[in-house]
Amino acid sequence: MNFFQALFMGLVQALTEYLPVSSSAHIRIIGDLMIGKDPGAAFTAIIQLGTELAVILYYRRDIIRILGSWFGSLFGKEGKDLKSRLGAHNPDTQMGWFIIIGTMPILIAGLLFKDAIETTLRNLWITVTVLIVFGILLWVFDARAKQVKTMNQMTWKDALFFGIGQMLALIPGVSRSGGTITFGRAMGYTREAAVRVSFLMAIPAVFGAGILESVSAVKDVNACSAGDAAACTAIGAFPGWIPTIAATFVAFFVGYVVIIGFLKFVSTFSYKAFAIYRIGLAVVVALLLIAGVLPAIDPSVAAAA
């Protein structure tokens, strides 16, 4: 992957990360069409840091308030009893705990199934399947579920269900925002509340993955430079640090604009258009797979499996 291809991937990341259409699927598909191979999980995770920085900037006041309340309550500011420390008297403290609960499923699954996530689950036939399945689920739940619940009505069980939706996004094609929004709408949350939970809950999970992948990429790049063939296979089409950092900046700046536009969109319209797009994309990818234009599994990824 050259410098300009990396920048284009950063743009794709920014345009698709917040929408329920799966940024990882788009990176995987466009990578194959543009450079002939999967850009790899490491590059994908690192440029996601850019879009998450945009989320932090946009929700900075909420994040500061939640963190302040969470730490304050934890150390007895709201009361010395256990219920007070867990946020019984402060919704912001509760939200801090809910974000932790919602992060646990993707953290556990990510550690347990890391190899499968980076190899087997990047099969494009799996991507096609989950694009369709979650497109239909999003369409149905958004059309039929009530919009009655707000973030202030969240329970620990709801947080866990949101977390399961986010966990499923480890499969390219599900979409992190798509999974959490679909589960949120199924539980009766408003479109705006489901999006806000999706954005806030993604911060620790995506940043954690990005940091871990960055550390791993540094090791693999150094090993590859020293002649380690296995390390070279592991980094795949990784373009180097300067193009990757530049792509991350593109993801940040464009991503911030996309956040504003997406929030305005869901305050007026349903998710039907995104569901139709997912299904249409799945059909196009399936046709490209059948025609042999796209390989179901990138050769370098298959070699690492």
Cβ atoms of 47 and 9 within 8 Å: the answer is: yes
Helix (H, G, I), strand (E, B) or coil at 189: strand
More confident: 54 or 232 = 54
Site of tokens 């304050």: 72
Q: Among 234, 117, 216, which residue's Cα sits nearest to residue 176?
A: 117
What pLDDT, on the 0 to 100 scale, is given for residue 305? 47
Q: Is the pLDDT of residue 147 over 90?
A: no
pLDDT grade, residue 212 (50/70/90)? confident
Average pLDDT over residues 156-172: 93
Q: Among 118, 82, 105, 94, which residue's Cα sits nearest to residue 220?
A: 118
- Percent helix, strand, coil in the chain (nearest 5)? 80, 0, 20
Helix (H, G, I), strand (E, B) or coil at 20: coil
Domain that holds residue 176: 3-303
Which is it for the CA torsion 192, 194, 282, 43, positive or negative?
positive
Neighbours of 304 (CB within 10 A): 15
Two tokens, residue 198: 């999706």
pLDDT grade, residue 160 (50/70/90)? very high
Average pLDDT over residues 38-43: 72
Q: Is the pLDDT of residue 136 over 90?
A: yes
Average pLDDT over residues 63-90: 83
Q: How far apart are the C-alpha atoms of 65 and 96, rounded to whole Å? A: 10
Predicted confidence (pLDDT) per residue in 185-205, tens digit: 999 999 999 999 999 998 888
pLDDT grade, residue 49 (50/70/90)? confident
What pLDDT, on the 0 to 100 scale, is given for residue 67? 92
Residues 6+ apart with CB under 8 A from 291: none
Average pLDDT over residues 85-101: 87
Q: How far apart are the C-alpha atoms of 240 and 30, rounded to whole Å? A: 19
Two tokens, residue 126: 């799996």
- What pTM, to 2 d.p., does this model score? 0.86
Helix (H, G, I), strand (E, B) or coil at 86: coil
Predicted confidence (pLDDT) per residue in 226-282, tens digit: 777 766 666 667 777 888 899 999 999 999 999 999 999 988 888 999 999 999 999
Q: How far is CA 10 from CA 19, 27, 43, 60, in A?
A: 15, 9, 10, 23
What is the count of structural domains for the chain? 1
pLDDT grade, residue 299 (50/70/90)? low
Chain centroid to CA 184: 15
Q: Phi first, then psi: what are they for 292, rounded to 5°?
A: 80, 10
Two tokens, residue 51: 């879009």
Q: Is the pLDDT of residue 8 over 70?
A: yes
What pLDDT, on the 0 to 100 scale, is given for residue 41? 66
